[in-house]
A = this chain, B = another copy of it.
Amino acid sequence: MPKDKAPTRIQRKNRLTILEAALDVFSSQGFRGATVDQIAAVAGLSKPNLLYYFPSKEAMYDAVLSQLLYTWLDPLRTLTPEGDPLEEILSYVRLKLEMSRNYPRESRLFANEIVQGAPRIHQVLATDLKQLVDEKAAVIQGWIDAGRLAPVHPYHLIFSIWSLTQHYADFDVQVRAVLGQEDPFAAAPDFVETLYRRLLSPAGA
């Protein structure tokens, strides 16, 4: 392992290559399903070389996961009390849907981790994520109390957005199997927009 001095050019490049390959393999096979040899093959490096840059397979997984967590929670932060309530939520939905389209591996890795009980990120969910959702749910509840949004359970509204948007990435094969050759993301944006407009438009509209 390199000293804890400033990383060299080669170190930066190889670390990125490895993380990229690890994301590929972990997201499609899960942690236990993935092997270091597979990751090495995808990265185009030898197995001992991977273990020169990361102390263990678990360290690779943790690195991929923590890097992912940071960007994964980001879209929710963009939801702010200013601006039109419905448009705020719709743009959050659109953002999440585009992340599913553009970063399906990240979505699947996250799904894998959660489905298996989130053994490694349970703490983050119960603290950081909960705090963030509490905060945004309060914003939504505020809009509802002000009559600017039809009444809904704010937490379950957020859950519904997660499940709906991530479904297109996580269950991609199922969606494709049912739709035939049609592109799943063709009609999805219109559908979710319609759904949340009808769900959330205040009564008078």
Contact = CB atoms under 8 A, between A and B. Distances in A.
**How many A residues touch the partner, as a band?**
35 or more
A174 B115 CA distance: 9
B171 A33 contact: no
A31 interface: yes
Between A133, A159, A160, the greatest number of chain B beta carbons within 10 A of the residue's beta carbon is seen for A159
Interface string A61-76: 0000000000000000
A23 to B, nearest CB: 14
B30 A173 contact: no
Interface stretch (A2-10, A85-93, A184-192): A184-192
Nearest to A163: B167
Contact of A31 (B33, B133, B156, B177): B33
Given A167-B162, A171-B115, A130 B32 contact: no
A117 B174 CA distance: 8
A33 B173 contact: no
A112 interface: yes
Contacts of A112: 30, 112, 115-116
A30 B28 CA distance: 12
Nearest to A174: B114
Contact of A170 (B28, B32, B115, B191): B115
Interface in A83-122: 108, 111-112, 114-118, 122
A169 to B, nearest CB: 9
27 contacts: A28-B116, A29-B32, A30-B30, A30-B32, A30-B33, A30-B112, A32-B32, A33-B116, A111-B115, A112-B112, A114-B170, A114-B171, A118-B174, A118-B177, A122-B177, A129-B177, A152-B191, A153-B190, A160-B167, A162-B167, A162-B171, A163-B166, A163-B167, A163-B171, A195-B199, A198-B198, A198-B199
